[in-house]
Amino acid sequence: MISAIRAAFGGDDPAKARVIAKNEVLEWMSAPDLEVRGALYSKISNAQCVKHIQPPLQFDDYFGFVVPYLEQCIEQNPDGEWADSRYLAAHQLVAWINKFWGDRSVPRSRLAEIRERLATLYKRGDADVRDGVINGVLEHLFENRQVAAFFQEWERDPDLSKAYKDARLWSEKM
């Protein structure tokens, strides 16, 4: 499936991409294999590639794929050719959250969903996953004080309080 994704998007040259049916992309998004999803993520994160999808992907298409994909990478820390490593995925997630935060057309409920997904990931994760959430995601998100305030409810949760305080401490040193 990776070779089909690459071929559809023109391999290494997006100018050679064909018109790609949105339904085909949505089918690829549902693939259980993290490497396949990583290959697709590399294409739909590229503005030159994504313009070949017809009709265009909508916010919910991205959200329903990108957030779970990056969350899974943070949790599993894959070491393959296509799937993102824990910290690369964490930094990608920060970029997506910042993009969503700055776009007032994005429902705030979607941002709250990401916050809850990160809380669940942190709580179920081992020490490495929790470190990835704090150092890879929260510390960088909290550079924006409004985003830090959006996560403030974590301070009252006994399982999340330390993560919130540690991330705030680092961002306040910036």
DSSP string, 7-61: HHTTTT-GGGPPPEEHHHHHHHHT-S-HHHHHHHHHHHT-HHHHTTEESPPPHHH
The answer to whether the CB of 108 falls within 8 A of the CB of 116 is: no
CA 70 and chain centroid, separation: 4
The domain locations on the chain are 1-57, 64-174
Letter for the amino acid at 133?
V
Rg value, the chain, Cα: 17
Which CATH fold would you assign to the domain 64-174? 1.25.40
pTM: 0.93
- Structure tokens that stand for 82 in this block: 């296509």
pLDDT tens digits, residue range 92-137?
Answer: 999 999 999 999 999 999 999 999 999 999 999 999 999 999 999 9
